[in-house]
Amino acid sequence: MGPQQNNQDRKRSRRGGPREPQEFEQKIIDLARVTRVMAGGKRMRFRACVAIGNKKGKIGIGLAKGADVTIAVTKAVNKAKKDLVVVPLINETIPHEIRIKSNAAKLLLKPAPKGTGIKAGGAVRVVLELAGVSNVVGKILGTNNKVNNVKALLKALASFKPASSKRVFEKKKVDSKKEEKKSVAKKSTVKKEVK
């Protein structure tokens, strides 16, 4: 038992102990081998489309090429981290229905009651899961191209306004109307007392 135990200790020390949890979860949406014709022949590279999200309303998409799959994926993840979109969630769903068209991609997204889950297909489902939208109904109406569909979805999610600022604005409007009514009522009672 002595030598085996010693080997396991060495392996643990090389690894550096337990890993810290990552901030974003990542999923590869599309991986393609692309070629470019050069003077000496064809040059092959890999194109990776990666979605990252924290399942709390932050989502990002990255598209990058590299000589190797791992290089392409890491480049895509770094690009995705640079342009993150915050999705305003209301009761674990999106604020309202939206139809979006971007290039050949057409998407329809509708809010859904609790317990519905994510009813969407293809890459749209993956991105909505990473964004943390638990209940939503989605339909891909246009192309089947994953990259275009994901770009259209990101455009749709970015178009939602944060719900909190809208509610505060509406509350201020309502409060100001109530105050106006009160002040009008006070003025009328003051006039009556004067007479």
The pTM score is: 0.72
**Which of the four pLDDT bands, split at 50, 70 and 90, describes residue 98?**
very high
Q: Give the pLDDT confidence score for residue 168 in this predicted structure.
A: 47
pLDDT at residue 195 in the model:
56
pLDDT tens readout for residues 147-170: 999 999 999 999 988 755 445 445
Q: Which domain holds residue 61?
A: 25-163
Angle (nearest 5°) at CA 132 between 53 and 137: 120
Number of domains the chain is built from? 1
**Residue 2 included in any domain:** no
Within a domain: 7: no
Segment 55-72, tens digit of pLDDT: 998 999 999 999 999 999
Find the helix or strand (DSSP H, E) in which 148 lies: helix 146-159
Identify whether 68 is part of a domain. yes
Q: Which two tokens stand for residue 24?
A: 């974003």
Tell me whether residue 9 is in a domain.
no
Domain CATH number, residue 96 = 3.30.230.10
- Using the predicted structure, report yes or no on whether residue 114 has a pLDDT greater than 60: yes
**86 domain-assigned:** yes
Instruction: Check: CB of residue 58 under 8 Å from CB of residue 89.
Output: no
In a domain, 109, yes or no: yes
What mean pLDDT is predicted for residues 27-45?
94
Tokens 């590869």 map to which residue?
28
- Rounded to an integer, the average pLDDT of 32-39 is 94
In a domain, 77, yes or no: yes
